[in-house]
Amino acid sequence: MTEPSRRLPARVIVATHNPGKLREIRELLAPHGVEAVGAAALGLAEPEETGDTFEANAALKAEAAARAAGEPALADDSGICVEALGGAPGIYSARWSGGSRDFAGAMARVERELLAAGAPRPWRAHFVSVLALAWPDGPTEIFPGRVDGDLVFPPRGTAGFGYDPIFRPDGHARTFGEMTSEEKHGIPADGSLALSHRARAFQIFARERLQAAPSPALTRSSGSPED
């Protein structure tokens, strides 16, 4: 077991070759003064995702990077689970886009399969993100996050990545593809629940493993009584 007070150093390897995910994780770490270095920038190989759960795949990616770099590594394994498709594509979400990362094709496949199954609307789905933090000297810690919503076709919006344009989170009229990155994965300063699955996993991770984010009062350049 890692002692609860164990904190991340000033930089952490982010074990992903997906630029969209790296960008989101970098934005999440930056306010905590932690630099995110992508695995691709370090020339680290991308291990094959041989696990059959999000947890197993997140852990194997983080552990491979931590071992290769000799530094703590953070990995996210995530995907979208469509309830009427028995949770598919789930851990195969990236693979449904084919080698060329064609998410227009992957979203069209989701719609085709829902129509073929005669699934009644609303088409419920959830995004899952499991963050794994691997320390080079062990152990690996797991932080899960989830957001529920329904699917809309045709896809809407051009923001974000992957399946964002078809996912409308509960309580919102717009899809993730129509939201700014701040709306999708911003961490509310008042401690309330973030929106995206990755931001929710990150909130748990940050609470346990990062210094508190600096408050706006402390980051103002002047005029604050704390200065």
**Catalytic residue ranges:** 77
Q: Does 127 contact ligand IMP by CB under 6 A? A: yes
175 binds ligand IMP (CB under 6 A): no
- What are the backbone dihedrals phi and psi of residue 80, each rounded to the nearest 5 degrees, phi first? -115, 135
Is residue 93 involved in binding ligand IMP (CB under 6 A)?
yes
Cross-strand pairs, 149:
125, 169
Asked if 202 is part of the footprint of ligand IMP (rule: CB under 6 A), the reply reads no
Count Cβ atoms below 10 Å from residue 155 Cβ, excluding itself: 21
8 A C-beta contact, residue 110 and residue 99? no
AA letter at 100: S
Under the criterion CB under 6 A, does residue 94 sit at the interface with ligand IMP? Answer: yes
Find out whether 195 and 169 touch, Cβ atoms under 8 Å. yes
Instruction: Pick from 59, 60, 68, 77 the residue near ligand IMP by CB under 6 A.
Output: 77
- H-type helices in the chain, by residue range? 19-29, 54-69, 103-117, 181-185, 197-209, 216-219
Residue at shortest CB range from ligand IMP: 162
Strand arrangement, sheet containing 35-38: 35-38, 11-14, 73-82, 124-134, 140-151, 167-169
Where in 32-71 is the site for ligand IMP (CB under 6 A)?
49
The correct pick among 164, 166, 178, 199 for binding ligand IMP (CB under 6 A) is 164
Residue 2 or 204: the one with the smaller Cβ distance to ligand IMP is 204
Q: Does 163 bind ligand IMP (CB under 6 A)?
A: yes
Asked if residue 78 binds ligand IMP (CB under 6 A), the reply is yes
Q: Which is nearer to ligand IMP, 45 or 217 (CB)?
A: 45
Q: Which of 8, 14, 15, 18 binds ligand IMP (CB under 6 A)?
A: 18
Contact status, residue 136 vs residue 72, Cβ threshold 8 Å: yes
Q: Which residues bind ligand IMP (CB under 6 A)?
A: 18, 49, 76-80, 93-94, 127, 160-164, 176, 196, 198
